[in-house]
Every structure is written in structure tokens, then in C-alpha cells.
């Protein structure tokens, strides 16, 4: 079969010419071919395999390109990379791999194209298109990856038990591709993943993270998290999530399954944001519910303080997964901590002061918090669903209104401590804090607008109540 029409980018002509000059066979393989067939429209990274030295081929390609781009050589891996017009071209020599039990780093030898295709993870990733002029565009698809693309099926070229055991990262890649492409993992493959799930322990956290991140970037991450759970992998990677699974019943009272609820929230939020950290917040917003779950005959199931507990757990989870412990983590923590706040507003009358307090506490994250809380509405009762959404719409309108008047988002006290000290001729003392707090509360409650004159009047009144005398009256 000829796939010349996949090779529209002029770069392929340059690679073709270079390979012919060197007398080596070469092919474009992997994701590029797969995504071309799937019409996923991407040419960001292109993998080229040479039957010989990938590094030499890369150097020749660079020489033949008009601007002679730099070749980045990774000697240990025998690969080379060229960046050309926003595309990353990765060159590698065809290879054969053999594995040890306790490492995912194989012993690598030069190999044929066929051996190179054998070592690839999935049939849909093992297709190659020839680039040499004599066979330009010829598709080499020994495992019928094309058929699996049509069938939306993920399976390994060789025995799945060996493929996953050799490199357990492939288990996560299988689930990640199933999520990104909305494909099924073949039963034999999924069984092998279940059996090998414990082998994920030999994979570094960084590599695990890349895959989790890609699952969370997908249109419908629940596909991936359900597969992770069913395979036993999630238990080993993010047990905080599997701990949310299940419904307990006592005295005829039950609570919802917080694992599946969480996944619904994540899918919901993906329709409204590409912000990865907001998606993480959705994934983790209820993790405090497992350790805080209690039952009492009077009130049924409770999860008191789960928001605070959850936000603390975020830190430990990020640390364990070697995720950044920076402002992104703090953002996730804050959203988890505040994740129940707007819910009260959705159920009750919305007062200005409640909204003002919400904006004051959430600060710059208030809109993201609203997006999270809207996604959190998973009730199947259409009346409640509509009511909560309408209320949140009102809250959003009120946020704008209240912001125009009082600017409490990035609250700056309208009266400074210095001004208070000066007015009452005070040394630093607790009265200053009391007055400042009193003014802030008055603004949040809507007793006075956030204006210096009004705040000044209130300061005088409060100062008098505290028994202070104005400096100019002394």
C-alpha cells in the first residue's frame, strides 16, 4: 500500500535524499503514521528510524537543509534530534532489545526494521512508511495496525505478558492511548496488565506522571481512570482516589460513590477548561472524604473537615508523585480547600456579603473555583440540577457587581496601620489590628463601601469605642 500522500511535508524529501546519499534505508514510524491515518492532524514530532546510524542520518539531513540546523545528539540512546520549522525530527537506528527482570532499560543491539517494529509497544504504533526514493511511501505494517486503527483496538505486536513485563510503562501507555483515542484495550492485553500491575513499581515517578498528565489532558479522562482502577494500577499510583470507591450503607442510609462522582466532575470540567491544574483540583477535590467519613444515627454520613484534610493530602500526593511543590500546588490546595464554599450559595439565597466574602477568600481564583463547583453538580435530579446552575449563574453575576463596588479580590485595607497610629497617636499595639479587622468586616458585610472616607469615619467611631482619643484633640 502506498502512503505517499502522508508525506506532504517537504522535510520528507530532504530525509529521502539524505538516506539515499548514505545508502541507508529509512522510515517514518510510530505516532506520525498512526495520527495521519486517524486524521488527528499533527506533525509536531516525527520519528525516523534508519537501518544503520540514526545519528549519521540526522547529520546528513541537517547538512541538506537550507539553514543547516543544529543536531542534538543523545549518544547514550543512539538518537539525534533536529528542530526544523517547529517540528521535532527524532532519528534513531533500528534496534533489537532484550530486557532484564528488574529494569526497564533494555540491552540494545542494532537490528532490522522488523526487529525494530517487534519491540514497539502497540500494533498501531508499529507502522512504518518508507522514505527511500525507490520505495517512497510504501507502508510496512506487519501486525496489521491499520485494521486495529479501524477496529479502535489497542494490542501489542508480540505476547502481551512479555511486552508489559519487559517495560511496565507500556501498561500506562496502553491506558493513555485508550483514553486519548477512545480505543478499547484488547482483552488479552488488559488481562496481562492486570497480572503485571505490580511491576509499575520499577517505573520512575516522572514517567508515570507524563502518562497521568496526558490522561488528564484528554477529552474524557474518566476512560483512563476507570481502566487504571480496574487494572489495579491506580491503587499503586494514586491510592487516595481508589480509597473513595464504594458505597456504605448503615441504618438504611448510604452516601454516593465518591470515586465515580469525582470522575464525573473531572469529565465535566474538561468541557470548560484546559487549565491542567484546575483539572487536577477537580480530580483531587474530594480526596479528604475517605479519611473523614463518619456515620452517626442522627445525621447519617458526614465528611466534616474533608476540605482541609484534602488540601493537606494534596501536598503529600504531589510530593510522592514528584510533582512541583510550587504555586501550582498551592493553587490546587486552595481550590480543594474552598471546594465546598460556593455550594452553600447554590442552595440558599445569595446575599451580597456572602459573595463578597467568597471573592475576598478566593481572590484571583474565584472564577476557577466557580468552574470547579459548577462541574461538581452531578445530581441526577433535573430540578436540583437546574436550580444549582441558575444559582451559580447569579453568583457569577454578583461577583462582577460586588467587584465593581468594593474590589475585595486583592483586598488592600483602605486605612493603613500608620494612619490609625497617626490619628490616635498610638504606638504599635493590638488596637490597630482590632480597628483594621473591624473595617474589613464592615466592608465584607456591606455596612460601608470600600472607600477611604467611609473607612476613616468608621475608624474614628471604633477608636472612640475603644477609649482612644484623637491626636489633634489631645
SS3 344: helix
In the structure grid, which three cell numbers stand for residue 373, read together?
463547583
SS3 151: helix
Q: Which is nearer to ligand ATP, 125 or 242 (CB)?
A: 125
Distances 448 to 161, 353, 444, 451 between C-alpha atoms, Å: 70, 11, 8, 8
13, 20, 31, 434: which one contacts Mg ion (CB under 5 A)? 31
25, 141, 167, 376: which one contacts ligand ATP (CB under 6 A)? 167
Q: How far apart are CA 44 and CA 81, in angstroms?
A: 13
Question: What DSSP element (H or E) covers 215?
Answer: helix 205-217
**Closest CB 60 distance from ligand ATP, rounded Å:** 22
Render the burial of 236-255: b for 16+ CB within 10 Å, e for the rest.
bbbebbbbbeeeeeeeeeeb
Which residues from 36-95 bind Mg ion, rule CB under 5 A? 45
For 37-86, give the secondary structure using H, E and C: HCCCCCCCEEEEEECCCHHHHHHHHHHHCCCCCCEEEEHHHCEEEEEECC
Q: Which residue is nearest to Mg ion (CB)?
A: 31
> From Mg ion, ligand ATP, none, which one binds at residue 356 (CB under 5 to 8 Å depending on kind)?
none
25, 121, 267, 406: which one contacts ligand ATP (CB under 6 A)? 121
169 binds ligand ATP (CB under 6 A): yes
300 binds ligand ATP (CB under 6 A): no
Number of CB atoms found within 10 A of residue 168's CB: 23
Q: Which residues contact 321 (CB under 8 A, 6 or more apart)?
A: 205, 208, 209, 212, 237, 238
342 binds ligand ATP (CB under 6 A): no
Q: Which is nearer to ligand ATP, 47 or 431 (CB)?
A: 47
Region of 164-172, 182-190, 407-415, 443-451 interacting with ligand ATP (CB under 6 A): 164-172
**Closest CB 12 distance from ligand ATP, rounded Å:** 16
120 binds ligand ATP (CB under 6 A): yes
Q: How far apart are CA 364 and CA 55, in angstroms?
A: 49
Tell the burial category of 184 from Cβ atoms under 10 Å away from its Cβ (0-12, 13-18, 19+): middle
Region of 49-57, 61-69, 168-176, 187-195 interacting with ligand ATP (CB under 6 A): 168-176
Which residues from 36-55 bind ligand ATP, rule CB under 6 A? 45, 47
> From ligand ATP, Mg ion, none, which one binds at residue 170 (CB under 5 to 8 Å depending on kind)?
ligand ATP
Site size toward ligand ATP, by CB under 6 A? 12
222 binds ligand ATP (CB under 6 A): no
Q: Which is nearer to ligand ATP, 102 or 410 (CB)?
A: 102
Q: Phi first, then psi: what are they for 143, rounded to 5°?
A: -110, 15
6, 11, 30, 436: which one contacts ligand ATP (CB under 6 A)? 30
Evaluated on CA atoms 274, 275, 280, 286, the torsion sign reads negative
422 binds Mg ion (CB under 5 A): no
Q: Which is nearer to Mg ion, 117 or 231 (CB)?
A: 117
79, 125, 231, 333: which one contacts ligand ATP (CB under 6 A)? 125
170, 309, 356, 462: which one contacts ligand ATP (CB under 6 A)? 170
Number of CB atoms found within 10 A of residue 472's CB: 7
Are 280 and 373 in contact, with CB atoms under 8 Å apart? no
**Closest CB 339 distance from ligand ATP, rounded Å:** 31
Residues of this chain that interact with Mg ion (CB under 5 A) are: 31, 45
Residues of this chain that interact with ligand ATP (CB under 6 A) are: 30-31, 45, 47, 120-121, 125-126, 167, 169-170, 173
Amino acid at each position: 500500500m502506498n502512503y505517499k500522500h502522508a508525506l506532504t511535508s517537504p522535510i520528507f524529501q530532504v530525509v529521502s535524499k539524505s538516506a539515499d546519499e548514505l545508502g541507508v534505508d529509512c522510515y517514518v514510524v510510530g505516532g506520525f503514521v498512526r495520527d495521519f491515518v486517524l486524521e488527528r492532524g499533527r506533525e509536531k514530532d516525527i520519528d525516523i528510524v534508519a537501518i544503520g546510524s540514526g545519528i549519521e542520518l540526522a547529520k546528513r539531513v541537517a547538512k541538506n537543509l537550507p539553514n543547516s540546523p543544529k543536531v542534538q545528539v543523545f549518544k547514550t540512546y543512539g538518537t539525534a534530534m533536529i528542530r526544523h520549522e517547529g517540528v521535532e525530527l527524532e532519528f534513531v537506528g533500528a534496534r533489537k532489545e532484550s530486557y532484564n527482570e528488574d529494569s526497564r532499560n533494555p540491552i540494545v543491539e542494532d537490528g532490522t526494521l522488523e526487529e525494530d517494529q517487534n519491540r514497539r509497544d502497540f500494533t498501531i504504533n508499529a507502522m512504518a512508511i518508507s522514505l527511500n526514493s525507490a520505495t517512497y511511501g510504501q507502508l510496512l505494517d506487519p501486525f496489521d495496525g491499520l485494521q486495529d486503527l479501524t477496529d479502535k483496538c489497542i494490542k501489542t505486536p508480540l505476547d502481551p505478558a512479555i511486552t508489559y513485563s519487559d517495560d511496565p510503562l507500556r501498561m500506562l501507555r496502553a491506558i493513555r492511548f485508550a483514553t486519548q483515542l477512545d480505543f478499547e484495550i484488547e482483552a488479552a492485553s488488559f488481562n496481562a496488565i492486570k497480572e503485571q500491575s505490580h511491576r509499575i513499581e520499577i517505573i520512575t515517578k516522572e514517567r508515570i506522571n507524563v502518562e497521568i498528565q496526558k490522561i488528564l489532558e484528554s477529552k474524557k479522562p474518566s476512560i483512563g481512570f476507570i481502566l487504571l482502577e480496574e487494572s489495579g494500577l491506580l491503587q499503586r499510583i494514586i491510592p487516595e482516589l481508589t480509597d473513595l470507591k464504594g458505597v456504605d450503607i448503615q441504618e438504611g442510609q448510604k452516601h454516593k460513590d465518591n470515586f465515580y462522582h469525582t470522575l464525573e466532575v473531572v469529565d465535566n470540567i474538561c468541557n470548560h477548561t484546559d487549565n491542567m491544574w484546575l483539572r487536577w483540583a477537580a480530580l483531587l477535590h474530594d480526596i479528604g472524604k475517605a479519611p473523614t467519613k463518619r456515620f452517626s444515627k442522627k445525621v447519617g454520613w458526614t465528611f466534616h473537615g474533608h476540605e482541609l484534610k484534602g488540601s493537606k493530602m494534596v501536598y503529600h500526593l504531589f510530593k510522592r508523585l514528584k510533582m512541583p511543590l510550587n504555586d501550582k500546588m498551592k493553587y490546587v490546595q486552595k481550590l480543594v480547600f474552598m471546594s465546598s464554599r460556593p455550594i452553600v450559595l447554590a442552595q440558599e439565597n445569595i446575599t451580597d456579603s456572602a459573595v463578597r466574602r467568597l471573592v475576598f477568600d478566593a481572590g484571583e481564583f474565584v472564577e476557577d473555583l466557580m468552574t470547579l463547583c459548577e462541574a461538581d453538580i452531578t445530581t441526577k435530579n433535573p430540578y436540583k440540577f437546574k436550580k444549582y446552575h441558575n444559582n451559580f449563574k447569579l453568583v457569577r453575576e454578583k461577583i462582577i457587581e460586588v467587584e465593581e463596588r468594593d474590589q475585595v479580590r486583592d483586598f488592600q485595607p483602605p486605612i493603613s496601620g500608620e494612619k490609625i497610629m497617626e490619628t490616635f497617636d498610638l504606638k504599635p499595639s493590638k488596637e490597630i489590628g482590632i480597628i483594621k479587622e473591624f473595617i474589613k468586616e464592615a466592608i465584607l458585610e456591606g455596612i460601608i463601601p470600600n472607600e477611604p472616607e467611609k473607612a476613616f469615619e468608621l475608624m474614628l467611631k471604633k477608636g472612640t469605642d475603644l477609649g482612644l482619643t484623637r491626636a489633634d484633640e489631645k
